[in-house]
Amino acid sequence: MLSEGFLVTLEEPGRVVLDSDRASVTVAASPRGEVEVMVMPLGSGWPRQWSWSGMVGRADVGRLLELALDRMRAEPPILLGEANFYDRLAVGNRAASHALTRQAEGKGSSTVERRLP
């Protein structure tokens, strides 16, 4: 991330935040081995958020972060904090959230893709 123009702005056990002049990246690792990477334009939040998650097992945390960075580099708007990209992502995130809520209420389909928290 540092080579992409990001600087560490917060570092605490289990969580690191890196910011550029356009986007903010939060990396969270749980003691259970879950790793989540969340990216959003500066000053924004959910649902204008891209996320990626992985589980330590065959890969360690370092390798999981490499995989996440590869995904981010494959879609340049992610790290550039491009508003149109995140606006479209927000629509999908809201729809997925609504579908999960309806499923939890027993009113929706059980085919909603689940992600690690």
Look at 86 and 109; give whichever has higher pLDDT.
Answer: 86
Residues spanned by the domain of 73: 2-104
Instruction: State the chain's mean pLDDT as an integer.
Output: 89
Q: Per the domain annotation, does 21 fall within a domain?
A: yes
The pLDDT value given to residue 105: 82
| Nearest-angstrom CA–CA distance, 34 and 57 | 10
Q: Per the domain annotation, does 116 fall within a domain?
A: no
Look at 69 and 103; give whichever has higher pLDDT.
Answer: 69
Answer whether 19's CB lies under 8 Å from 7's CB: yes
With a cut of 60, say whether residue 34 has pLDDT above it.
Answer: yes
Q: Per the domain annotation, does 109 fall within a domain?
A: no
pLDDT digits (tens, 9 = 90+) for 46-98: 999 999 999 998 888 889 999 999 999 999 999 999 999 999 999 988 988 88
If one counts the domains in the chain, the total is 1
| Nearest-angstrom CA–CA distance, 29 and 15 | 6
With a cut of 80, say whether residue 111 has pLDDT above it.
Answer: no
Neighbours of 47 (CB within 10 A): 17
Q: Per the domain annotation, does 47 fall within a domain?
A: yes
